[in-house]
Structure 1
């Protein structure tokens, strides 16, 4: 019975832990793999690490598209279940799968078409160019299984089941982790494929996750199902999926555009600077996206209770989630500030990289707490269907404020100003996000008072 749904009745603090720990673990393992993947590749050469760093914006954009559809479906299904509309939830499942396969195939093709001119724009080094092509020509094929497994993951999470999606994601991560060294270095019966081996391991991991995800979705105990009988495409529903997932897409896609802009700036300094930022960003993503796993657990709780009209539980989830985000971001900041040399050592950093990389990591780590607060506010706005303000916060964080600060501070302070632009941007964004949030809450209070009267 929907009235017994734990999202409506379970204590909020316990519910947040139950909902957040599985995606938090999944994100930690996923981005640990990404970090270790780059660490293995760095053992080939700094040139290989530079090639992966140049590829990162493309793979990030592909992941952002997957999250776009997944989160849009998640928010819709959680809302429909909160409103006790089972048929609409099942219809959303089918639409989400069709979008995942269709858009996945399109992005697979586009990445193959753009990679040569893209890499050619960033490097004149023939070795880096060829390594980038070798890596991306395989990684492009991750997109269909990536989109499908993330869409199903979000569908099942919307029902309150966070453990099962964690399991099929972990299975893919384990495959990646095991086959990375085997295929990169040629251990035992496996051929030494170098950088291409890392890409093959990535695609294999996503493929396994997709297969397991479908097996889970088709199980008899799922609270949502694929609707086939009486199904027909509904353009307005597709529009809703795109609209509700758009803030999450922007948050993730802007990382891709941001790294692209960063590479444009850093190419004027050296290939080592590009390799460093690629390595650092893996560390940052491990911290930020692990916290984002926690926030993912808060999103369906807030969305469900918004749909059910329970404002007290909605606000309680936001407050407690923000407290947990703060603690995790402080821990991440201290880790980077205290151990930058050890973290760079994971990537076999050269003396040239260490000479500027240690201080750069400490400067950029100051931004994490403000990033967490802004993202939590953006997620609350997303859950309450305030889509434009939610998107605006992400645009401010990674584009509208960052690029001008990056340009101006780099002109004043050279490469040090470039690193400073990140904490300056995150601080300014949080101040603006807080103003947006307070204005929205004030409007919400006034509307509630009017309805009561």
Structure 2
């Protein structure tokens, strides 16, 4: 049944485009949520924008956990299909859904429990503190629908169907975009909810995506299905889901910790600096995670052919994907460098923010030139079950190199040093990724 799977026989270049464009669009839409929220919220006040910026590490960590389970399920299903193990693939679907519901509920509760302590650590401004609580007390309820719809999205993508998941992603973003102004500003029959309205629109968008995702998964044409009959919990399968998705979780979770670290440095300067970095990071995530959508299209191709023992197609997918990723990162760098003022205008930037924000965006955007290659190498290791090497690269990017660079360059160049730390850390990470790749080749284990 699986011998005619397009991931085994289709031309690699054409296949990558087919597999990558839908998740690329999906990731663009996924990270449009936060950018749209911030753009509308900024029209309330700079303090409201700061509140959303302070909430971003929490929501990013929640998204990272969703992607962790989703990618783990995706990689495992793609591998089972490559090995022609349909029953194991279906069993993975059921495990993935149970994990998504259970962990989603736990994270929802944790977000509500920690938010007061977390926000108080970053601001003494009572208005910003109260706005942060108002936003997060609603936004935390996004987690169950977020985890479930991403898990189902990855399940369906693992079968080679990249188009259908894109549509329930689009539906959620449209709902968010439409209801943001209605609920924030109170247009027509809708009440003016302010920052709570932005959070409510986000939750509504994710909820719709989850409902549509379930409807799609239960359809008769899907190549994987929920297994109920004779199903039992398999601890080894759960462990593999966690292990295979762990590099993706680390990549995304480190973004949360990184923003937290940066905010700890920025709080010494001003609330405006925190608001700016939150706004900039929405732009960066939109660019970097859109490119990551392309990488996600390459991942099941590499994983399928690794499972099928076809090393030529595995390496071809890696080379072709790397070229596309590098090209898109260059385009992202040029966009930010040519239009920093226009991007800041999306967030109703004050003159104080523009005074340092334009040059800061140009400095940080240089980091995109280096992170494409290292991320693609990390993904290759993920597909071939060299999880340790994949994790090492992600740790270098946003922790082992970035935090020392932030500390040293802040001491030397003050605020500009914080911005310089990003291209410095990405350059060092790229070199380490190339060294690890060369070591694996030398050992003849690629």
Give the TM-score normalised by the residue count of structure 2: 0.99
1:43 and 2:43 are equivalent in the alignment? yes
Give the match's secondary structure for 1:3.
coil
Return the alpha-carbon distance in structure 1 between the equivalents of residues 259 and 193 of structure 2: 27
**Partner residue, 1:243:** 243
Give the match's secondary structure for 1:360.
helix
Q: Shift of residue 143 of structure 1?
A: 0.4
May I ask how many residue pairs the two structures share in their alignment? 446
Return the alpha-carbon distance in structure 1 between the equivalents of residues 158 and 24 of structure 2: 15
**Partner residue, 1:107:** 107
**Residue-by-residue CA offset, 1:401-452 (whole Å, 9 max, x unaligned):** 100011001001111111100000000000000111121223235x8xxxxx
Q: Shift of residue 33 of structure 1?
A: 3.5
Give the match's secondary structure for 1:192.
coil
Equivalences for residues 46-125 of structure 1 within 5 A:
46-125=46-125
**Residue-by-residue CA offset, 1:257-311 (whole Å, 9 max, x unaligned):** 0000011000000000000000000110111011000000000000000000000
**Residue-by-residue CA offset, 1:222-244 (whole Å, 9 max, x unaligned):** 10011111110011111000000
Return the alpha-carbon distance in structure 2 between the equivalents of residues 205 and 32 of structure 1: 12
1:9 and 2:5 are equivalent in the alignment? no
**Partner residue, 1:451:** none
Give the match's secondary structure for 2:220.
coil
**Residue-by-residue CA offset, 1:32-90 (whole Å, 9 max, x unaligned):** 34212211100000000000000000000000000000000000000000000000000
Give the match's secondary structure for 2:372.
helix
**Partner residue, 2:137:** 137
Return the alpha-carbon distance in structure 1 between the equivalents of residues 132 and 290 of structure 2: 27
Return the alpha-carbon distance in structure 2 between the equivalents of residues 25 and 69 of structure 1: 20
| 2:31/2:282 contact within 8 Å kept | yes
Return the alpha-carbon distance in structure 1 between the equivalents of residues 169 and 29 of structure 2: 9
| 2:32/2:173 contact within 8 Å kept | no
| 2:184/2:193 contact within 8 Å kept | yes
Q: Shift of residue 30 of structure 1?
A: 2.4
**Partner residue, 1:177:** 177
Q: Shift of residue 161 of structure 1?
A: 0.2
| 2:168/2:212 contact within 8 Å kept | yes
**Partner residue, 2:222:** 222
Return the alpha-carbon distance in structure 2 between the equivalents of residues 301 and 334 of structure 1: 29
Return the alpha-carbon distance in structure 1 between the equivalents of residues 12 and 426 of structure 2: 29
Return the alpha-carbon distance in structure 2 between the equivalents of residues 95 and 32 of structure 1: 29
**Residue-by-residue CA offset, 1:367-395 (whole Å, 9 max, x unaligned):** 00211111100000000000011001000
**Partner residue, 1:410:** 410
Q: Shift of residue 31 of structure 1?
A: 2.0
Return the alpha-carbon distance in structure 1 between the equivalents of residues 441 and 204 of structure 2: 46
**Partner residue, 2:276:** 276
Give the match's secondary structure for 2:221.
coil
Return the alpha-carbon distance in structure 2 between the equivalents of residues 104 and 346 of structure 1: 32
Runs of 4 or more consecutive aligned structure 1 residues displaced over 4 Å after TM superposition: none
**Partner residue, 2:349:** 349
CA RMSD of aligned residues (A): 0.8
Give the match's secondary structure for 1:74.
helix
**Partner residue, 2:384:** 384
Which runs of no fewer than 5 residues in structure 1 stay unpaired?
Answer: 448-453
Give the match's secondary structure for 1:331.
helix
**Partner residue, 2:263:** 263
